[in-house]
Amino acid sequence: MLQELKELLCCLNETLAPERFAEIELLHQSALKWQEVPRLPLIVSYPYPEDAKFQPFPHGQVFDDPEKMLFNQLISAEITGSGDNTSPS
pTM of the model: 0.55
What pLDDT shows up at residue 47? Answer: 75
Break the chain into its structural domains and give their ranges.
3-80
Q: Mark the ranges of the chain whose per-residue pLDDT is less than 70.
A: 44-46, 77-89
Given a contact cutoff of 8 angstroms between Cβ atoms, the answer to whether 4 and 72 are in contact is no
Residue among 32, 14, 8 at smallest CA distance from 83: 14
Per residue in 39-64, pLDDT (tens digit) is 988 776 667 788 888 888 988 999 99
pLDDT value, residue 84: 45
Q: Which 3-state string (H, E, C) describes the chain?
A: CCHHHHHHHHHHHHHECHHHHHHHHHHHHHHHCCCCCCCCCCCCCCCCCCCCCCCCCCHHHCCCCHHHHHHHHHCCHHHHCECCCCCCC
